[in-house]
Amino acid sequence: MQNTANGTIPLSRRTLLKYGAAASAFTFAPGFVNASFGQDRSKTLVIAAPATPLSLDVENSLSPGTIDTVAAFYDYLIGFGTIPDTVDGVMREDLEPRPDLPGGYNLKGMLAESWAFAEDGKSVVFTLRQGVLSNWGNELTAEDVKYTFDRKFEVKGAGAFMTSVMGLPDKDAVKVESKYVVSFTLKDPNPILMIVCGHLANPIFDSTKCKEMATTDDPWARNFLDTNVAGFGPYALKDITRGQQMVATARSDYYGEKPYFETVVFREVPISATRLQLLQGGAVDIAQNLAPTEMKSLENSTDATVTSIEASQMLWIELNTAFAPLDNIKVRQALNYAMPKDEVVKTIMQGFGKKMTTFMPDFYPGATAEFYDYDYDIDKAKALLAEAGHADGFTSTLAYNAGIPFEETIAIMYQTALKKIGVTIELKKLPAGTFFDSLVKRSEPMTFNLDAPFTPDPGFSLNLYFHSGSFLDFSNYKNEEVDALIKTSLSTLVEEDRFAATTAAQKIINEEAPWTLIANPGFQLAHGKDIGGIVYYTSNRLNFQDYKRV
């Protein structure tokens, strides 16, 4: 018999295991969240994600965690109106061009109450809502908008790209007209100015708080905004511990509709199998980034489900034209014919998503698959290689991201397919950081890419990936005619002319094949069956304020 007379618990291997197991179970039990935050569980949304945000400042990072959380803390000048999706109970942004409306789309005002364009399309005036408070209690004014865009020019992060696509030449282009009125003056008419204003990377900052937190060494409060927020969104940041979790609480003084969930716990759970188990056990409401087989396993679940939506995500291989023989169009076409796209979607992606047939998301206005002809055809691939003078094949390297498990399996499948046409590729698995470094430096002949143009416009999408001056032109693709067509599409307000230019550009790009097309993986949200109110955004993000328990 063990002696417990002195009140201490006798420590043996058995007791240690027993108490350890109890502690672990308690940690992940649904009640744990209530106990931790003193909140009603029904009003608390718990999300298991691969990582907490790297930064809460969009100028510093657009990591997946940042993308998923930033729209909870910040509001934008405008946003898209929504329409029902083909999936029951799901809404999505209305991307249909509406030339009859100011801004050319079905837009809804967020921080901007109204907006008016000049006749020549070279300036727009926003009138802001009055009485809108930030999470620090400061009222929204035109100064906040001015500060936000001044910061983009000064910090030179992601904002530098944004000001360039918006056509803002310098800081003076954004002018405070009165306390609640701000104007943007452009060099040339810009058909996508309004929808870029709603881009995830263009939130409006609370300038009063930011100026308060600025220092001589850090005049734009980068350090403060890296780990804190100063915005006009529906949630305030309660706590963030990187590598563990982030907690957000709904603001009672938010100007718009109050979110259903009063507390959001965004917890880091790096292993997808664990995220799946937590969802199945009801400990979390949403499990992010599950593997396709894991999502498939939820088909028979009574408590959880997967909502699969057509999305802007694209998966492809960059064919770096700076490396021979990838500088040869016929070689690039051959590599496209050798990709078993249907098999990849059917097996590795378990039927989630679809094969990729366009060089931009195919549901974006102006996207066309009429020039696509790259279904799996080994004979055609061999013939093209022979025409290119590489009948005996060649050797190259394909780099992929170790953080995305299905890239490795697709790479192996592709390697086997390429052997059939005599092409030998060496697979190079790179840790996420090194991978993105090599992608940006364009140091590998072939590199996987999984990305999406957040702004649903053909000119914006083509400019992002195929304009020779774009920093995202990772395939080093250069065609002066394509550059000119993209420029036309981004500088004319006549819709027919814009789409004619982007169609012509797509025809050339399709012919010259700077990418090996693979798949549109779609947007999959694995969630408890009691979670509703899902809205799809082209930035492929979560939006806590939309969700509710049904």
Least gap, CB of 282 to other proteins (angstroms): 17
* 289 within 8 A of 526, measured Cβ to Cβ: no
Q: Rule CB under 8 A: is residue 528 a binding residue for other proteins?
A: no
* Residue 538 burial class via C-beta count within 10 angstroms: exposed 0-12, middle 13-18, buried 19 and up: buried
Q: Which of 85, 143, 343, 377 binds other proteins (CB under 8 A)?
A: 343
Among 520, 517, 481, smallest CA distance to 501 is for 481
Least gap, CB of 272 to other proteins (angstroms): 7
- Name the DSSP letter for residue 218: -
Least gap, CB of 499 to other proteins (angstroms): 37
* Residue 488 burial class via C-beta count within 10 angstroms: exposed 0-12, middle 13-18, buried 19 and up: middle
Q: Rule CB under 8 A: is residue 164 a binding residue for other proteins?
A: no
Please give the Cα distance from 457 to 331 (Å, whole number): 30
Please give the Cα distance from 496 to 505 (Å, whole number): 14
Q: Which of residues 225-284 bind other proteins (CB under 8 A)?
A: 272-273, 276-277
Q: Which of 242, 296, 354, 442 binds other proteins (CB under 8 A)?
A: 296
Least gap, CB of 294 to other proteins (angstroms): 6
Q: Rule CB under 8 A: is residue 347 a binding residue for other proteins?
A: yes
Q: Rule CB under 8 A: is residue 439 a binding residue for other proteins?
A: no
Please give the Cα distance from 348 to 162 (Å, whole number): 35
* Residue 89 burial class via C-beta count within 10 angstroms: exposed 0-12, middle 13-18, buried 19 and up: exposed
Q: Rule CB under 8 A: is residue 348 a binding residue for other proteins?
A: yes
* 72 within 8 A of 263, measured Cβ to Cβ: no
3-state secondary structure of 294: helix
Least gap, CB of 290 to other proteins (angstroms): 10
Q: How many residues bind other proteins (CB under 8 A)?
A: 32
Q: Rule CB under 8 A: is residue 431 a binding residue for other proteins?
A: yes
Q: Rule CB under 8 A: is residue 443 a binding residue for other proteins?
A: no
Amino acid at residue number 116 = A
Q: Rule CB under 8 A: is residue 171 a binding residue for other proteins?
A: no
* Residue 244 burial class via C-beta count within 10 angstroms: exposed 0-12, middle 13-18, buried 19 and up: exposed
Least gap, CB of 405 to other proteins (angstroms): 6
Instruction: List CB contacts of 17: < 8 A, sequence separation 6 or more.
Output: none
Q: CB-wise, 137 or 433, nearer to other proteins?
A: 433
Least gap, CB of 354 to other proteins (angstroms): 17
Q: CB-wise, 66 or 272, nearer to other proteins?
A: 272
Least gap, CB of 485 to other proteins (angstroms): 37
Task: Report CA-CA distances (Å) from 466 to 43, 312, 369, 469, 508.
Answer: 45, 17, 17, 8, 11
Please give the Cα distance from 207 to 230 (Å, whole number): 8
Q: Rule CB under 8 A: is residue 354 a binding residue for other proteins?
A: no
* 523 within 8 A of 313, measured Cβ to Cβ: yes
Q: CB-wise, 194 or 417, nearer to other proteins?
A: 417
Q: CB-wise, 417 or 534, nearer to other proteins?
A: 417
Phi-psi region of 76 (alpha: psi -120 to 50; beta: other; left: phi over 0): beta
Here's the x/- map for other proteins, 368-407, by CB under 8 A: it reads as: ----------------------------------x--xx-
Q: Rule CB under 8 A: is residue 291 a binding residue for other proteins?
A: yes
Least gap, CB of 33 to other proteins (angstroms): 23
Please give the Cα distance from 265 to 542 (Å, whole number): 13
Q: Rule CB under 8 A: is residue 195 a binding residue for other proteins?
A: no
Please give the Cα distance from 341 to 414 (Å, whole number): 9
Q: Rule CB under 8 A: is residue 22 a binding residue for other proteins?
A: no
Q: Rule CB under 8 A: is residue 294 a binding residue for other proteins?
A: yes
Q: Rule CB under 8 A: is residue 34 a binding residue for other proteins?
A: no
Q: Which of 39, 409, 503, 543 binds other proteins (CB under 8 A)?
A: 409
Q: CB-wise, 188 or 343, nearer to other proteins?
A: 343
Chain residues that interact with other proteins, rule: CB under 8 A: 272-273, 276-277, 291, 293-294, 296-297, 340, 343-344, 346-348, 402, 405-406, 408-409, 411-413, 415-417, 419, 426-429, 431
